[in-house]
Amino acid sequence: MLRILLSFLILVFSINLSAQSMKDSLLNSSRPKIGLVLSGGGAKGFAHIGVLKVLEEMNMPIDYISGTSMGSIIGAFYAMGYSASEIEKIVLSQDWESLLKDEISRKYIHVKDKINLDRYVISFPIKPKGIRIPAGIVKGQNIINLFERYTIEYHDKNDFRKFPIPFVCIATDLETGEAVVLDKGNIAEALRASMAIPTVFTPIEINGRLLADGGMINNFPVEEVIKMGADIVIGIDLQTGPRSKDKLNSIEDIINQTVSLMAKREFIKNRKLCDIYIKPNINGYTVADFGKADSLILRGEQIPLEQISELKQIIAKHKLIKTQKQNYPIVTDSTQYFINDIKINGLKHVRKATMLGKLDIETRTWTSIKRIQKGINRAYGSKYFDKVAFQLKGDIEKTLVINVTERRSNRFNVGMHYDDDNKASVLLNTTFQNKIQDGSSLSLDLKLSENPRFTATYNLDNGLKPGYQLKLDINDSEVYDFADGDKVGSYDLKYLKLDANLHSTFRESYSMGIGGKMELYRISSNIKTLGLDETDEDYYFTYYAFINMDSHDKGYYPKKGFSLYGEYKLITNNGLTLDGNERPASVAYLKVQKAIALSNRLTLYPKFFGRVVWGKAIPRVYNTYTGGLDQTNYFDIQVPFVGLRRMEVVSDNSFVFRADIQFELFKKNYLILKPNVAKVVADVNSALTEGQWIKGVGLTYSYNSLVGPMEVTFSLSDLENRLRGFINLGYWF
């Protein structure tokens, strides 16, 4: 009897649910369809989120969405099932300054490339017809990473009109000037195309068409939601509109004005088709105000009472009820996917094994989204690609599809620098990928200054499997001799080095190897104290082993990370011995630095530099020279010391202990206290206790500009008791 009663109750409940569902279905089919249109507007588009929050609170159903540029991004996320609050959390959790650049975290850059990461002010692609200005400042790798992460549940869904809320976005065909409606394909790429502001972001090719920001032609796509079936259109407009000539004062203003004028006629037509036209008060904000997302969202929530009343009247008149739920599975770093297979599309010159090594993702196992994106970042950080994107295909067992665009153009780079020791200098660099052998790089450096230098480096990296490097280095420098703190003369030091090594790389931050050099030195001097003839020339064969580690988060002003470079070298002049002695001379060098963040603005940065030389008949060119703030590696005989001038103290051994205290006064402005002590030992056979202690300190004010550090340093040492000033402008190279 109980079983019969229970079955009866279940039947009644099912009938009621079915009836309610049928009632809702009939109600929805008879009610007018609501279309939502979101305009472009750069950072101002964050105000769309605030308006969506208001519409959600009013329980307003949305049946179709169209958008352009930032409006397409917010609209797509909402169409896929994110709630307005979830979109807000995503937006506020981003570092937009880093996101809108192509910069990948330094930890994903190969250790050999980290030294070159901050050297250049300008970089141009080299194409078959010569050097060309790039199609855009930003390629958008970080943006595509963001889109791929938050659209991951839709990587297998290619029809945007079948999203929980049907969606389309607008781009511009740069070849024909036509507006392109994107409603199928890869949603991440579609969003990237729709927001590709000309000259800022590079355009993107989809289905054979070169696409850029849809705002150039149709920044307010009302007609599109009407074509989709909307009966009532709610349009949210965040455009500033054309400005008067007195307000066109920057490149940003000119670009915005150009876009506004191009889309003006289409906007006027679309504006008339809106039933509810919402224009939040965002006066005073610009398209670049990505750091003001929270206040822009708040502005979006402040819809005028008149429009609130109009929306409520529509809801009441048509008895509108929102039945669909915003329900998107939130993806976190720990979200796991079972990777059954990996497919890589787009490889031509880079070997598949190299790419798989960068990804470091195993098949037939569960893998987190965090690990997948780390692999993507490592691949992009290799400099072999202009774009690395991914999709997860399949239901439970996923195929990881990697789509790459190999770097088709080589690079021409320019660096500029000035300091009181080296004076003004310009660095011209050309970097070629995949020359002679796939996966290799060829870099040519020409330094133009009073101390010119030329370096050619050919490198092939194979990860753990040994790779090799060939290097030619030619340098011509003037080096001073000091007595009691005063310059007493100078000599001209020229050298030519031919270097070859084998090396292995662990991850991106650790490398070790062995190698050999042929070194030719020519010294011209008028200084009798050096014990040199007017011209002294000799050559040497050296063998070395090295280890290189660098996990600093930044090349300049790091807040965390560790770096170490160690080298042991044997010096001969015949390949076996030195000047007839039984064995070669030896040189050991060690540099260790660790950044420790004591607070958000205060960093302790201890450092150690040590160089030891031992053996008989050691050539003068292998002595240790202590002093200066020079951060270059032209001479492996130099040990920096704050308070002494560049290469001021000559000795066999030198040990420098330094502890920089770095305080960020305000954004990009630093005050750095640099105390250090040194132990220099003039004779290699002397015990460490018999050497000379030198104490010094410096105070540096530094501004981290777009072209590198702008620094003024005042320092002194107990060797001279004389306050010295030093100016450094730009990246060191």
Given the residues 69, 382, 509, 525, the one annotated as active site: 69
End-to-end distance of the chain based on CA atoms, in angstroms?
90
Dihedral through CA 69, CA 72, CA 75, CA 78, nearest 10?
-110
Q: Where would I find the H helices in 121-205? A: 141-150, 187-194
Residues near 463 by beta carbon (within 8 Å), at least 6 away in sequence: 354, 357, 504, 505
Q: How far apart are the C-alpha atoms of 679 and 349, rounded to whole Å?
A: 51
DSSP one-letter string for 292-314: GHHHHHHHHH---HHHHHHHHHH
Specify the 3-state DSSP secondary structure of 255: helix
Q: Which residue has the tokens 């740069």?
A: 174
Residue 411: alpha-carbon gap to chain centroid: 17
533 is catalytic: no
- Contact predicate 616/581, CB 8 Å: yes
Q: Which two tokens stand for residue 181?
A: 């409606």
**Which backbone phi and psi does 436 adopt, to 5 degrees?**
70, -50
Beta strands per DSSP E along 531-632: 535-550, 561-572, 585-597, 602-614, 624-626
Decide: residue 47, CB within 10 A, 0-12 exposed, 13-18 middle, 19+ buried: buried
213 is catalytic: yes
The helix, strand and coil proportions of the chain, stated in percent and rounded to the nearest 5, come to 25, 40, 35
- Contact predicate 719/694, CB 8 Å: yes
- Which 3-state string (H, E, C) describes 330-388? CCCCCCEEEEEEEEEECCCCCCHHHHHHHHCCCCCEEEEHHHHHHHHHHHHHCCCEEEE
Give the other-Cβ count within 10 Å of 177's Cβ: 10
Dihedral through CA 86, CA 91, CA 95, CA 101, nearest 10?
130
* 169 Rama class: left (phi>0) / alpha (psi -120 to 50) / beta: beta
Half-sphere exposure of 689 (CA within 13 A, CB side): 0
Q: How far apart are the C-alpha atoms of 22 and 25, rounded to whole Å?
A: 5
Residue type for position 314:
I
CA-nearest of 26, 27, 33 to 64 is: 33
Residue type for position 306:
E
Residue 169: C-alpha distances to residues 183, 195, 466 (Å): 7, 10, 48
CA-nearest of 563, 713, 691 to 644 is: 713
- Contact predicate 208/252, CB 8 Å: no
Given the residues 63, 173, 213, 652, the one annotated as active site: 213
Give the relative orientation of helices 141-150 and 187-194 as an angle to the nearest 10 degrees.
140
Q: What own/partner pairs with CB < 8 Å and gap ≥ 24 does 497-502 have?
A: 497/471, 497/472, 497/473, 498/471, 498/472, 499/469, 499/470, 499/471, 499/472, 499/473, 500/468, 500/469, 500/470, 500/471, 501/468, 501/469, 501/544, 501/546, 502/466, 502/467, 502/468
- Contact predicate 617/578, CB 8 Å: yes
Residue 354: alpha-carbon gap to chain centroid: 21
Residues serving a catalytic function are: 69, 213
